[in-house]
């Protein structure tokens, strides 16, 4: 029989219908006439899968048989978004599938809407991982994405009386057609217990870990299709399952109920995504999750992906594990444990191998976001790993002392082990010491990473540090999300841009072409109308058709300064109701917010309540009707982003300078023809350099100015006292105007701003208002605005994640894509 796969279904409407009906009847087990929308969705998804399968089988065989270096992307989060549209796009089956469904009497849009997106990530970091694996597949770079199959992803956000309520996200409830479970490839993962010394037959002293309990990891494979190139890489997500041994070893009471409880305990490990962004909490379950997926992944690669007789001294030639932030950093001591304890390598040789197998990406600048684990917890859960970390630290500090004799302070600063406030392991230091390269995610952040976050390390090993500016996949965020713009671009410059985004430059001359501008503006207007139809059905919002769409969507965090946006809105509103500005002088704007707050982040939830309160009041006020509107649709996620971003006129990127590592939403907006109002922060800096100052609204302090103000002593009350407009704005909020007269309901946010204001909202207020006035002026001239919008698209090709991947290849992974 054939060595290769049998033929996929024919890429014709007839072939598609036949495959679909076969999936419906013989896979799903229903007749078309009795099938539900979910049956049809599952059958459609499985049909599209069939077209990808030969490519997947072939790519897998190539990876196993070849000797090319593989990227092992280790990430605790993958914020994938819906899969159906992307799979249809990758296979070029969109039109065929639509027509096939039509002939079956089915509206494909209803089936698309049936898919619950796998929200296996919090925000930027998780979505970045999803963009990166998309680009690697499209560039035919061997990559295995490793992560966790959370049974519940990021919570679903609802509002009750304006307050955020979290609902569990049961994305698997109706079954996911996109995953392939492989229980036969289960991996055992140990925890707890203690270590012992022993002497091997060569008389060497060795250590072994005698674990206390264990769980099984079951891999679930996902296809990661490249864009129409036949490559289908794999995303391998691990799910925790109890073992027999587990029940016997710790819960050996002979009690059935206890044994079942033990099983629940083990399976909790992959139960739910931690819904936190930026502020790690040293929770035991989180460390269990981290070690769980890392141990499964390293074992999977070494035992199952490498050839059986592989010489592990060659490991760095075959794999580079990219650490997506510190979450998977326990992989470094885990590889040391495998090499030293299990494979019998000498420490030095193992360390040399290990350091060449890892590279670390840091996604933050906030000191409070750097993960640390208490020595007590780490030692209890992973006693051998703690010993290894101590050993790494001891040898490293010895080197440091040799390089800087007498500088004991330096050695202490650089220790992986912090002594205060409790003895703990600094994961970013471990990552830096154990990796071949360390990178930040935008130029500014990489610079600050070297200068402020890891200065001793960058002084010690400057060549280790590099930058790779983030990017986003044009397949999902232009082609899929904005079909109208994609068609206009392709009609104008051809279709090569989809995989070569620098080609967007060819649009530049068309910015001066009135006919093209009209078409471009019509696309934007159609996207707005599409969004308003959705928000009407989804959220019951009725929004005016012809207003500037001013959008702030991202996780709710004080440093991102949603309150600054709120102050701007309230100041415009106050101008009108106080009679300072006539309503016909106001440029009509519709403000859209989208943001989830971490469930335990109290102040963030108060800010959400205040935004909803302001929205309700303004939307109900006849004095500003049709001119100022505020929409805060609940549950901002990838699916909603794909509708909002293409409709936006103005992209709000207003973090305090020096706090947002990169941002990636900022790139998506620019690529979809929104103009940015933003601070000199993260990748905004690079966006502005590329699109030009005339096409970007810059405001606010620079990072050095922020530092200087901080050093002088920042007092927000001074700004409140001295700025009349700011005072009137804050007073209106404090008066209870937006909270049915109840001043207490806005007090926490207001007091925080006036007395603490850790992210200097008041200091940047006036500059922000001035920039918004420039926005209004620009928007009053539609031809000028559209010209700028076109130039934003034409000059943002740099922000393709394909370019990011090339940079990782050149600067970090040191291999190149196959021909």
668 labelled catalytic: yes
Using the minimum distance from each CB to ligand 26Y, give the nearer residue, 400 or 598: 598
313 close to 354: Cβ distance less than 8 angstroms:
no
Q: Which of 49, 355, 555, 795 is catalytic?
A: 555
726 close to 762: Cβ distance less than 8 angstroms:
yes
Q: Which of 560, 561, 568, 795 is catalytic?
A: 560
555 labelled catalytic: yes
How big is the chain by its Cα radius of gyration, in Å? 27
CA 82 vs. chain centroid, Å, equals 14
In the bound complex, which residue of the shown chain has the CB atom lying closest to ligand 26Y? 124
Shortest distance in whole angstroms from residue 66 CB to ligand 26Y: 30
Shortest distance in whole angstroms from residue 515 CB to ligand 26Y: 37
Angle between helices 724-734 and 744-751 (to 10 degrees): 140
Q: Which of 554, 605, 787, 803 is catalytic?
A: 554
For tokens 């940079």, name the residue: 807
Using the minimum distance from each CB to ligand 26Y, give the nearer residue, 130 or 350: 130
Q: Which of 668, 688, 737, 806 is catalytic?
A: 668
Using the minimum distance from each CB to ligand 26Y, give the nearer residue, 122 or 590: 122
CA 798 vs. chain centroid, Å, equals 19
Q: Which of 49, 156, 363, 384 is catalytic?
A: 363
Shortest distance in whole angstroms from residue 278 CB to ligand 26Y: 5
435: alpha, beta or left? (left if phi > 0; alpha if psi -120 to 50) = beta
Using the minimum distance from each CB to ligand 26Y, give the nearer residue, 75 or 746: 75
Shortest distance in whole angstroms from residue 39 CB to ligand 26Y: 36
Token readout for 380 is 């209890």
Strands 70-74 and 143-148: parallel
Using the minimum distance from each CB to ligand 26Y, give the nearer residue, 130 or 400: 130
Token readout for 627 is 């001119």
Shortest distance in whole angstroms from residue 124 CB to ligand 26Y: 3
Residue 28 is given by DSSP the state S
Q: Report how far apart, in Å, the C-alpha atoms of 786 and of each of 156, 253, 515, 531, 812 are.
A: 36, 72, 11, 19, 39
Rounded distance between C-alpha atoms, residue 71 and residue 332, angstroms: 16
Strands 358-361 and 437-440: parallel
Give start and end residues of each alpha helix (H) in 69-158.
84-91, 94-103, 108-114, 124-138
Rounded distance between C-alpha atoms, residue 334 and residue 382, angstroms: 10
Shortest distance in whole angstroms from residue 685 CB to ligand 26Y: 12
Q: Which residues pair with 71 in a beta bridge?
A: 143, 320
554 labelled catalytic: yes
Using the minimum distance from each CB to ligand 26Y, give the nearer residue, 19 or 428: 428
Shortest distance in whole angstroms from residue 69 CB to ligand 26Y: 23
Using the minimum distance from each CB to ligand 26Y, give the nearer residue, 274 or 465: 274
215-235: burial string, b at 16+ Cβ within 10 Å, e else: bbbbbbbbbbbbbeeebbbbb
Shortest distance in whole angstroms from residue 233 CB to ligand 26Y: 20
401 labelled catalytic: no
Rounded distance between C-alpha atoms, residue 725 and residue 568, angstroms: 10
298 close to 335: Cβ distance less than 8 angstroms:
yes
661 close to 445: Cβ distance less than 8 angstroms:
yes
For tokens 């841009």, name the residue: 497
Q: Which three-class secondary structure string do you get for 736-755? A: CCCCCCCCHHHHHHHHHHHH
Query: Which long-range CB contacts under 8 A does 12-19 form with residues at least 24 apart?
Result: 12/96, 13/96, 13/99, 13/100, 13/103, 16/47, 16/93, 16/96, 16/97, 16/100, 17/100, 17/103, 17/104, 19/47, 19/50
Residue in 640, 663, 637 with CA at minimum distance from that of residue 561: 663
Q: Which of 234, 469, 473, 664 is catalytic?
A: 664
Using the minimum distance from each CB to ligand 26Y, give the nearer residue, 302 or 556: 556
Angle between helices 782-794 and 514-539 (to 10 degrees): 90
Kind and range of the H or E run holding 324: strand 319-324
Token readout for 258 is 């206890």
Shortest distance in whole angstroms from residue 548 CB to ligand 26Y: 26
Using the minimum distance from each CB to ligand 26Y, give the nearer residue, 142 or 440: 440
Residue in 96, 297, 109 with CA at minimum distance from that of residue 185: 297
Token readout for 31 is 């007749």
Q: Given the rule CB under 6 A, which residues bind ligand 26Y? A: 122-125, 128, 274, 276-278, 280, 363, 369, 371, 441, 470, 660-664, 682
Rounded distance between C-alpha atoms, residue 79 and residue 121, angstroms: 5
Residue in 395, 333, 401, 320 with CA at minimum distance from that of residue 361: 320
Rounded distance between C-alpha atoms, residue 132 and residue 801, angstroms: 6
Token readout for 311 is 């010489």
Residue 549 is given by DSSP the state E
Using the minimum distance from each CB to ligand 26Y, give the nearer residue, 557 or 589: 557
Shortest distance in whole angstroms from residue 668 CB to ligand 26Y: 11
492 labelled catalytic: no
605 labelled catalytic: no
Token readout for 126 is 């998780």
Shortest distance in whole angstroms from residue 148 CB to ligand 26Y: 12
Token readout for 561 is 């300064």
Rounded distance between C-alpha atoms, residue 65 and residue 419, angstroms: 48
Q: Which residues are catalytic?
A: 363, 554-555, 560, 664, 668
């Amino acid at each position: 029989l054939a060595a290769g796969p049998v033929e996929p279904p024919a890429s014709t409407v007839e072939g598609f219908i036949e495959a679909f009906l076969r999936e419906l009847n013989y896979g799903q087990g229903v007749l078309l006439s009795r099938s539900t929308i979910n049956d049809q969705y599952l059958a459609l998804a499985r049909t599209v899968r069939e077209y990808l399968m030969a490519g997947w089988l072939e790519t897998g065989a190539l990876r196993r048989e070849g000797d090319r270096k593989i990227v092992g992307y280790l990430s605790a989060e993958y914020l994938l978004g819906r899969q159906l549209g992307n799979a249809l796009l990758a296979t070029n089956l969109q039109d065929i599938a639509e027509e096939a469904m039509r002939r079956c009497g089915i509206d494909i849009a209803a089936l698309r809407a049936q898919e619950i997106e796998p929200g296996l990530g919090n925000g930027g970091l998780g979505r970045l991982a999803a963009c990166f694996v998309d680009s690697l597949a499209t560039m035919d770079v061997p990559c295995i994405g490793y992560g966790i199959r959370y049974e519940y992803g990021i919570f679903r956000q609802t509002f009750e009386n304006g307050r955020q309520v979290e609902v569990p996200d049961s994305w698997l409830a109706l079954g996911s057609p996109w995953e392939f479970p492989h229980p036969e490839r289960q991996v055992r993962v140990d925890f707890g217990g203690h270590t012992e010394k022993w002497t091997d037959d060569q008389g060497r002293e060795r250590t072994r870990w005698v674990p206390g309990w264990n769980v099984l990891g079951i891999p679930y494979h996902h296809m990661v299709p490249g864009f129409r190139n036949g490559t289908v890489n794999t995303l391998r997500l691990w799910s925790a399952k109890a073992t027999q041994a587990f029940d016997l070893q710790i819960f050996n009471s002979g009690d059935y109920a206890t044994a079942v409880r033990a099983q629940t305990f083990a399976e909790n490990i992959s139960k739910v995504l931690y819904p936190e962004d930026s502020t790690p909490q040293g929770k035991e379950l989180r460390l269990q999750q981290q070690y769980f997926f890392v141990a499964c992944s390293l074992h999977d690669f070494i035992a199952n992906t490498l050839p059986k007789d592989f010489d592990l001294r060659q490991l760095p030639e075959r794999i580079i594990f990219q650490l997506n932030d510190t979450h998977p950093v326990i992989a470094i001591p885990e590889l040391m444990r495998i090499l030293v304890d299990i494979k019998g390598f000498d420490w030095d040789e193992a360390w040399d191998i290990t350091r060449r197998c890892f590279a670390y990406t840091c996604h933050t600048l906030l000191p409070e976001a750097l993960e640390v684990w208490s020595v007590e917890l780490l030692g209890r859960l992973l006693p051998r790993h703690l010993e290894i970390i101590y050993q790494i630290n001891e040898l490293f500090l010895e080197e440091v002392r040799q390089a800087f004799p007498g500088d004991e302070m330096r050695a202490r600063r650089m220790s992986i082990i912090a002594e205060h406030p409790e003895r703990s392991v600094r994961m970013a230091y471990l990552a830096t010491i154990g990796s071949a390269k360390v990178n930040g995610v935008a130029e500014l952040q990489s610079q600050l990473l070297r200068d402020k976050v890891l200065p001793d390390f960058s002084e010690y090993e400057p060549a280790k540090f590099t930058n790779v500016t983030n990017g986003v996949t044009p397949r999902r965020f232009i082609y899929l999300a904005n079909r109208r713009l994609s068609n206009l671009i392709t009609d104008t410059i051809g279709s090569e841009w989809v995989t070569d985004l620098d080609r967007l430059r060819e649009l530049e001359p068309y910015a001066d072409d009135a006919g093209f501008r009209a078409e471009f503006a019509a696309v934007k207007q159609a996207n707005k109308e599409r969004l308003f139809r959705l928000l009407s059905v989804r959220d019951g919002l009725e929004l005016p058709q012809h207003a500037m769409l001013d959008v702030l969507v991202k996780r709710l965090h004080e440093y991102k300064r949603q309150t600054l946006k709120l102050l701007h809105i309230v100041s415009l509103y106050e101008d009108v109701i106080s009679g300072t500005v006539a309503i016909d002088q106001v440029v009509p704007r519709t403000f859209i917010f989208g943001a989830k707050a971490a469930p335990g982040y109290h102040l963030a939830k108060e800010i959400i309540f205040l935004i909803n309160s302001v929205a309700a009041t303004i939307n109900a006020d006849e004095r500003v009707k049709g001119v100022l509107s505020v929409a805060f649709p609940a549950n901002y996620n990838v699916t909603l982003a794909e509708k909002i971003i293409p409709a936006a006129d103005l992209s709000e990127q207003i973090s305090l300078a020096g706090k947002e590592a990169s941002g990636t939403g900022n790139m998506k907006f620019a690529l979809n023809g929104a103009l940015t109002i933003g601070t000199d922060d993260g990748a905004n800096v690079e966006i502005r350099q590329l699109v030009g100052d005339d096409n970007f609204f810059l405001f606010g302090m620079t990072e050095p100015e922020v530092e200087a103000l901080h050093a002088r002593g920042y007092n927000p009350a001074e700004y409140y006292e001295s700025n009349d407009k700011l005072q009137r704005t804050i007073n209106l909020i404090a008066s209870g105007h937006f909270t049915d007269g109840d001043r207490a309901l806005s007090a926490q946010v207001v007091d925080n701003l006036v007395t603490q204001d850790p992210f200097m909202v008041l200091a940047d207020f006036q500059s922000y208002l001035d920039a918004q006035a420039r926005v209004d002026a620009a928007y009053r001239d539609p031809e000028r605005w559209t010209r700028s919008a076109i130039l934003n698209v034409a000059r943002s090709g740099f922000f393709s994640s394909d370019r990011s991947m090339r940079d990782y290849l050149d600067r970090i992974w040191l291999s190149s894509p196959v021909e």
